[in-house]
A and B are shown apart, each in its own frame.
Chain A
Amino acid sequence: MGQQANRSGGSLKVLGKRLPNLDAVERVTGRAKYVGDIDIPGMLVGRALRSAQTHARIVSIDTSKAEALPGVKAVVTYKDAPKVALWGHRGYVLNDRVRFRGEAVAGVAAVDAETAEKALKLIAIQYEVLPFVIDPEEAMKATASKLFEDGNQEGQARILTRGDVAKGFTESDKVIERMYHCPTMWSGSLEPRCAIAQWDGDRLTLWASTQAPGRNQDNLCALFNLPDANVRVIASYVGSGFGTKSANHMDEGLTALLARKARRPVKLQYSREEEILDSNTRFETKFYAKVGVKKDMSLHSLDVRCITNLGAYHTRLGGLGNHCTHVYRIPNVRTEQYRVHTNIPNTGPTRGVGDPQECFGLESLIDEIATEMGWEPLEFRLKNIKRTGDPIARGGAGTEDGRLVTQVLDKCLEEGAARIQWSRRNATPGAGQTGPKMRGIGVAATERGGGGGQGGTTIKVFKDGSVVLFFASTDIGTGTRTTLPMIAAETMGVPVSSVRAVSGDTELAPYEGGSFGNRTLQGTGRAVEAASRECLRQILAAAGPMLNNAAPADLEMQDGVIRVKGQPDRNVALSAVMVRRGNIVATSITNQPQTGMDVERTSGAHFAEVEVDRETGKVQVLKYIAAHDLGRPMNLTIVENQLEGGTIQGLALTQGEEMRFDPRTGACLNANFLDLKPPTALDFDPRMLEAIVVENESILGPYGAKGLGENPTHPGMAAIANAIFNAAGIRLREVPFTRADILKALSEQQTTPGRTA
């Protein structure tokens, strides 16, 4: 399908360039309408009542006083909620039981915010308080308080085995065991969750700040027992998501429930505190790992047990990605994953899902075993990483039945090392640094799938030659409203300025789940390329009669002008063709291409240079290199922006964003920005950060592109931990790395003579 011609790449007119985002003007003028900005006549204000219980059964709930308050148009409780579990959750929209402190137990719709908030206070609830559990390992014990009748563990343990790890450890020359802990971390957006629901008879329109309009549509259809055709979800401008808006959540259903009962449109916008407590946030992991190596510098056996704290309801994801099995050649690997419910807020997929946590564990462990053996950690990695042609598992099983293609992790490591000047690192970690400030350099490698899956789009060419591209996925800041039109412009041969994207509307575009997991550029992008080719085919067919009946095969279009190949004087403008043709519409729905044995992944390597202040415990990042494979870059400015932003988000996990829970009450102690400390422009000097795009081409993506949104967030914790070790000789195995942790580790180091550096 012209894929070969594309991949030669030399003649690309639009792709690979630096272009401003096509919707930039809307975003910088305040004209971009996010859900919270939409006003509908007669719209009510929705509010949720949030429980101050951590774990309790609702004995009774009395809403009569709230309902009697003038201006209140609807009150809903669990009694009104459909007994249909949210997709990817254990819970209903509202439950007869509270499983985390801050869970919504009722909703109110009123004429204004003041009335709605007053009504919340009039709802009387009697609880039977239950014991609670917030630690996942405690929750696994038989004696633990149970969130669900079948216990706290979600499903069976996920066990993956390759080779024989026990035998592998006996064959190893050195074996070490470590544990790495990532706490529950806030991963939400600056735009608090918001939804507007409007019913027209039994048809529902929901405007939502979501990454996944298709999944929301599915869920609302299930909740209200409606055909797909009756539910329309619209997410035009979305104030980011990072995965937290990629699953279904209770607020969409609650808004629809309130609007149905009130018979008026309802807007429900979360406060900041609600957004922190009741979004899907990054899950806690306890990563117990044992690794064995042979003297010839080969990794031989890896055994990982990972316990994930899912929080109250989330079920679908949680746990490890594929770092343990896909980054290195290891003959014996076993991973065992437990996913456990506790009485903390919902977790869920967030940028990288379990990959940042797994990368922190594995890449710290690799550094630790290299140190034990006296090996240079980069050399050790380069000796053991999987490269193009190596065996790799095609599916989720341990068996390596496929072959890795287009892998450039070696180049990521080499180019990154050259840029940071790796040889400057301390040959002996922490040694010879006598001053108050100690410098060191660390590395971490990462990988993930490049996205893809099914995608769909509809492209409409108007009679003046302008083009609109409809897709049901979203642009959550990832730039797809720019890169996908660039693919259309490249394929059709029209100016990119003539193409406009309408995103996130389930009624206008073919079904897509949404934007998450690196998928949109490849998944939707392939459909855009295919639909653009079909539009071009129809345009050239219509142009032939206007060019002395030239055969379509002899025609080409450039910059919106159709020419006879080799005879540029014989041409006709697209607008002239379209005036005669009327308009052209093409829809394409594409699946993941079949690649047989070939498995394509997306890799990267991060290098950090840090300075550790011996006296204050402060860690300053002096230089940070993020080298990534993303196939062929579609728009370099957007690529850099994603790499830089994602990298800082990964680094942010080292300094803050831990959600802290009071062990006595289960309450979150820091549900605000000042205490969560998401980074500002001062925390990480953006000038120290450099993104490297490693040259490559995908066999799967349109024009050789791979998705890249997730990956830059993976390696930050491990790269910083390894750099701190190289600087100061202290090994940090729990994030975030607070000044107190660092000072404590430094003081322990001083009182532990003979410690291996």
Chain B
Amino acid sequence: MANDDREKLSVSRRAFLKGGALATGALSSTLIPLGPAEGADRAPEATDLDPRRSKIELKVNGVAYRVDVPNTTTLATLLREELHLTGTKVGCDRMQCGACTVHVNGRSVYSCTVPAVDAAGTEVLTIEGLAKGDTLHPIQQAFVEHSGFQCGFCTSGQIMSTKALLDRNPQPTEDEARQALSGNLCRCSAYKKILESVMTASRLSRA
């Protein structure tokens, strides 16, 4: 869709579909040196023998994880089913709705279409990582204040896209905000309250 980050994502998805090497060029600039470095000199472990699975390390919301996943697993599935971070929703499973939006190394991506192995070595931020304890993130505060949702199923994605927008453009115009969130469907069409939430979030974040 219109979002720059997503165009980059779709490149990595195409590379993935071609069956080539992991297209983590755009994503793996900040490898977290947790376990042994990935490479041929590492002693193979049992699961390494199964070519259909991969052992990956990544940080999610600041917590380091080491997981063994099928190569076909998406980041969304990894987050929801392995790490039990179910705040990230899957609405279409083909990057058409945005409910699954999370950040990988600071960029918003559709996690339903990012292979989990592509997230190896990255820092992932999900909706669960925004609040600090009981203190909501200013974007969350704004969505509460304006009721920037109805059923709430798209809300995690709307908020993560808002964060991506405000990270790169702290003071967007309303039109820039609409553009930035145009990859996030709200079936309840609470778009007016979402827009109000984003503009308030911009003010609160700068305060």
* Interchain CB contact under 8 A, B189 and A673: no
Q: Which of A271-298 contact B (CB under 8 A)?
A: 271-272
* Interchain CB contact under 8 A, B151 and A238: yes
* Interchain CB contact under 8 A, B91 and A30: no
Given A191-B153, A239-B152, A645-B189, also A685-B87 (CB < 8 A): no
Given A680-B182, A685-B178, A686-B195, also A641-B93 (CB < 8 A): no
* Interchain CB contact under 8 A, A114 and B178: no
* Interchain CB contact under 8 A, A24 and B179: no
Q: Once the chains are docked, how many angstroms separate the CA of A27 from the CA of B128?
A: 11
B5-13, B32-40, B138-146: which lies at the A interface? B138-146
Q: Which of A341-355 contact B (CB under 8 A)?
A: none
Determine the residue in chain B with the shortest Cβ distance to A188: B187
Asked if B126 CB lies within 8 Å of chain A CBs, one says yes
Residues of A within 8 A of B16 (CB): none
* Interchain CB contact under 8 A, A240 and B178: no
* Interchain CB contact under 8 A, A689 and B192: yes
* Interchain CB contact under 8 A, A673 and B174: no
* Interchain CB contact under 8 A, B92 and A672: yes
Q: Once the chains are docked, how many angstroms separate the CA of A34 from the CA of B87?
A: 9
Q: Which of B70-105 contact A (CB under 8 A)?
A: 70, 72, 80, 84-94, 96-97, 99
Given A191-B151, A191-B153, also A37-B86 (CB < 8 A): yes
Asked if A637 CB lies within 8 Å of chain B CBs, one says yes
Q: Once the chains are docked, how many angstroms separate the CA of A685 from the CA of B185?
A: 14
Given A20-B147, A28-B143, A240-B153, also A674-B188 (CB < 8 A): no
Chain B proximity mask over A76-106: 1 for CB below 8 Å, otherwise 0: 0000000000000000000000000000000
Most chain A beta-carbon contacts within 10 A, residue among B70, B80, B144: B144
B23-31, B43-51, B113-121, B154-162: which lies at the A interface? B154-162
* Interchain CB contact under 8 A, A27 and B149: yes
Residues of B within 8 A of A678 (CB): 185, 187
* Interchain CB contact under 8 A, A30 and B143: no
Q: Once the chains are docked, how many angstroms separate the CA of A508 from the CA of B43?
A: 56
Asked if B166 CB lies within 8 Å of chain A CBs, one says no
Asked if B124 CB lies within 8 Å of chain A CBs, one says no
Asked if A33 CB lies within 8 Å of chain B CBs, one says yes
* Interchain CB contact under 8 A, A190 and B93: no
Asked if B64 CB lies within 8 Å of chain A CBs, one says no
Q: Once the chains are docked, how many angstroms separate the CA of A687 from the CA of B97?
A: 22
Chain A proximity mask over B165-196: 1 for CB below 8 Å, otherwise 0: 00000000010011101111111111111110
Q: Once the chains are docked, how many angstroms separate the CA of A648 from the CA of B191?
A: 9
* Residue from A36, A478, A652 in contact with B150 in the complex, judged by beta carbons closer than 8 Å: A478
Residues of B within 8 A of A428 (CB): none
Asked if A171 CB lies within 8 Å of chain B CBs, one says no
* Residue from A37, A642, A681 in contact with B191 in the complex, judged by beta carbons closer than 8 Å: A681
Interface of B, helix, strand, loop or mixed by DSSP: loop
Asked if B164 CB lies within 8 Å of chain A CBs, one says no
Most chain B beta-carbon contacts within 10 A, residue among A190, A638, A686: A190
Determine the residue in chain B with the shortest Cβ distance to A649: B189
Asked if B130 CB lies within 8 Å of chain A CBs, one says yes
Asked if B131 CB lies within 8 Å of chain A CBs, one says yes
Asked if B109 CB lies within 8 Å of chain A CBs, one says no
B: number of interface residues (CB 8 Å): 59
* Interchain CB contact under 8 A, A190 and B149: no
Determine the residue in chain A with the shortest Cβ distance to B197: A28
Asked if A476 CB lies within 8 Å of chain B CBs, one says yes
Shortest CB-to-CB span from B59 to chain A, Å, is 18
Q: Which of A203-222 contact B (CB under 8 A)?
A: none
* Interchain CB contact under 8 A, A29 and B188: no
Asked if A25 CB lies within 8 Å of chain B CBs, one says yes
Residues of B within 8 A of A33 (CB): 86
* Interchain CB contact under 8 A, B192 and A190: no
Shortest CB-to-CB span from A697 to chain B, Å, is 24
Q: Once the chains are docked, how many angstroms separate the CA of A188 from the CA of B191?
A: 17
Residues of B within 8 A of A242 (CB): 187
Asked if B58 CB lies within 8 Å of chain A CBs, one says no
Asked if A498 CB lies within 8 Å of chain B CBs, one says no
* Interchain CB contact under 8 A, A272 and B188: no
Residues of A within 8 A of B84 (CB): 39
Q: Which of A253-271 contact B (CB under 8 A)?
A: 271
* Residue from B99, B151, B182, B188 in contact with A681 in the complex, judged by beta carbons closer than 8 Å: B182
* Interchain CB contact under 8 A, B188 and A645: yes
A: number of interface residues (CB 8 Å): 58
* Interchain CB contact under 8 A, B127 and A240: no
* Interchain CB contact under 8 A, B188 and A477: yes
Shortest CB-to-CB span from B195 to chain A, Å, is 5
Residues of A within 8 A of B85 (CB): 30
Residues of A within 8 A of B86 (CB): 30, 33-34, 36-37
Q: Which of A1-39 contact B (CB under 8 A)?
A: 20-21, 24-34, 36-37, 39
Given A20-B145, A31-B87, A645-B190, also A681-B195 (CB < 8 A): yes
* Interchain CB contact under 8 A, A681 and B178: yes
* Interchain CB contact under 8 A, B154 and A28: no
Asked if A398 CB lies within 8 Å of chain B CBs, one says no
Residues of A within 8 A of B128 (CB): 29-31
Q: Which of A635-657 contact B (CB under 8 A)?
A: 637-638, 640-642, 644-649, 652
Residues of A within 8 A of B144 (CB): 20-21, 24-25, 28
Q: Once the chains are docked, how many angstroms separate the CA of A649 from the CA of B70?
A: 40
Q: Which of A228-259 contact B (CB under 8 A)?
A: 237-240, 242
Determine the residue in chain A with the shortest Cβ distance to B180: A681
* Interchain CB contact under 8 A, A25 and B136: yes
Q: Once the chains are docked, how many angstroms separate the CA of A31 from the CA of B72?
A: 27
Determine the residue in chain A with the shortest Cβ distance to B154: A190
Residues of A within 8 A of B97 (CB): 190, 272, 673
Determine the residue in chain B with the shortest Cβ distance to A672: B96
Shortest CB-to-CB span from A563 to chain B, Å, is 32
Given A271-B93, A272-B92, also A644-B87 (CB < 8 A): no
* Interchain CB contact under 8 A, A637 and B146: yes
Shortest CB-to-CB span from A51 to chain B, Å, is 21
Asked if A701 CB lies within 8 Å of chain B CBs, one says no
Q: Once the chains are docked, how many angstroms separate the CA of A679 from the CA of B72?
A: 31
User: Other CB < 8 Å A-B pairs besides A24-B144, A641-B190, A679-B191, 9 of them?
Assistant: A24-B149, A30-B126, A30-B127, A30-B128, A39-B84, A190-B153, A479-B150, A680-B184, A681-B194
Q: Can you report 20 residue pairs joining A to B where beta carbons are below 8 Å apart?
A: A21-B144, A28-B127, A28-B140, A28-B152, A30-B85, A30-B87, A30-B88, A30-B156, A39-B84, A189-B151, A190-B99, A190-B151, A192-B91, A648-B189, A674-B96, A681-B181, A681-B195, A682-B178, A682-B179, A689-B192
* Residues of B that sit less than 8 Å from A by CB: 2, 70, 72, 80, 84-94, 96-97, 99, 126-128, 130-131, 136, 140, 143-156, 159, 174, 177-179, 181-195
Which are the 5 A-B pairs with shortest beta-carbon distances?
A: A30-B87, A477-B150, A477-B151, A239-B153, A27-B152
